[in-house]
């Protein structure tokens, strides 16, 4: 087990992390480069954080929208414990942590690969890490990239998102960062529940046509996706940030409600 370290970031934010190096990368991506900006939320927004890891996105959301309600999913036990510790550290309210993964169908025990040195890269599909490892090894020959991607198998339950959502109300923002399982998560949401989702932001590595599959599904459920290369990620790794809104990429039909 990797003991978490209390880490301080540029704006004074403090949080626990198994890998301070990776956490600093996530901080730069989310807080400095603003990869999740441009998605205004209404008061008392419901935000679903799928692939919450140690809680960087949850903390970002609560810092900007203190009254937001966050439903956070993290299947890897070590990361989930750090997430819960960070929620307690910042005394966050209206944050519910679910210790399961999300997929097309409910399963009692699914094997994930946990990377102690790169916990945010932990995945159900470790075979898809080949391109990332090759690109980073070439770019950073002095770093032991192979060792950083040495994983440990862990098991966790997987459920369908439709079984975990509140039965009523809007889903103001669905954030998905699940290292290759994006379509699994999205297929676990029934049509009636998709109709309640107003905004989506998802990180997608474009392997085997996945970017087209994700954006195609979003269009099918009435959302309008746009995408751009993820900030700070080497272009050769082919990782994109997809954002989508109901009512068009530049405005939602529901943003007439007071936004924060």
Average pLDDT over all residues of the chain:
93
CATH architecture of the domain with residue range 5-246: 3-Layer(aba) Sandwich (3.40)
Domain coordinates of the chain in residue numbers? 5-246
pLDDT band for 260, please (50, 70, 90 cuts). very low
Whole-angstrom Cα distance, residue 119 to residue 79? 7
Whole-angstrom Cα distance, residue 76 to residue 155? 8
Query: 88-97, 194-203, 243-252: lowest mean pLDDT where?
Result: 243-252
Whole-angstrom Cα distance, residue 82 to residue 19? 11
* % of the chain surpassing 70 pLDDT: 95
Res 231: pLDDT: 87
Whole-angstrom Cα distance, residue 225 to residue 216? 9
For residues 68-88, average pLDDT: 98
DSSP 8-state code for residue 31: I
What is the reported pTM? Answer: 0.93
Higher pLDDT, 40 or 69: 69
Residue 253 has pLDDT above 80, yes or no: no
Q: Are 186 and 233 in contact (CB under 8 A)?
A: no
Burial class (CB in 10 A: 0-12, 13-18, 19+), 226: middle
pLDDT digits (tens, 9 = 90+) for 154-205: 999 999 999 999 999 999 999 999 999 999 999 999 999 999 999 999 999 9
Long-range contacts of 108-113 (CB under 8 A, 24+ apart): 108/157, 109/155, 109/156, 109/157, 110/75, 110/155, 110/156, 110/157, 110/158, 111/153, 111/154, 111/155, 112/75, 112/76, 112/153, 112/154, 112/155, 112/156, 113/151, 113/152, 113/153, 113/154
pLDDT digits (tens, 9 = 90+) for 207-240: 999 999 999 999 999 999 999 999 899 999 999 9
Res 36: pLDDT: 86
The gap from C-alpha 71 to its chain's centroid, in whole angstroms, comes to 12
Q: Which residues lie below 8 Å from residue 212, measured CB to CB, with a gap of 6+?
A: none
pLDDT band for 39, please (50, 70, 90 cuts). confident
């Amino acid at each position: 087990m990797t003991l978490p370290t209390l880490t301080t970031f540029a704006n004074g934010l403090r949080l626990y992390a198994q890998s301070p190096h990776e956490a600093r990368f996530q901080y730069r991506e989310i807080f400095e480069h603003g990869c999740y900006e441009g998605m205004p939320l209404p008061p008392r927004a419901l935000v679903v954080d799928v692939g919450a890891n140690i809680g960087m996105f949850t903390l970002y959301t609560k810092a900007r929208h203190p009254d937001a309600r966050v439903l956070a999913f993290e299947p890897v036990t070590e990361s989930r414990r750090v997430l819960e510790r960070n929620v307690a550290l910042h005394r966050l309210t209206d944050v519910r942590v679910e210790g399961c993964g999300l997929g097309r169908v409910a399963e009692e025990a699914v094997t994930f690969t946990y990377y102690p040195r790169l916990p945010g890269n932990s995945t159900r599909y470790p075979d898809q890490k080949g391109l990332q490892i090759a690109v980073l090894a070439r770019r950073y020959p002095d770093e032991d990239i192979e060792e950083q991607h040495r994983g440990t198998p862990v098991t966790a339950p997987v459920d369908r998102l439709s079984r975990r959502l509140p039965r009523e109300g809007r889903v103001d923002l669905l954030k998905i960062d699940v290292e290759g399982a994006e379509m699994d998560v999205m297929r676990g949401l029934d049509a009636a529940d998709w109709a309640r989702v107003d905004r989506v932001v998802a990180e997608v590595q474009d392997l085997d046509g996945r970017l087209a599959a994700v954006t195609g599904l979003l269009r099918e459920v009435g959302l309008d996706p746009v995408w751009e290369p993820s900030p700070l990620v080497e272009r050769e790794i082919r990782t994109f940030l997809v954002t989508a809104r109901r009512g068009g990429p530049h405005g939602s039909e529901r943003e007439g409600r007071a936004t924060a």
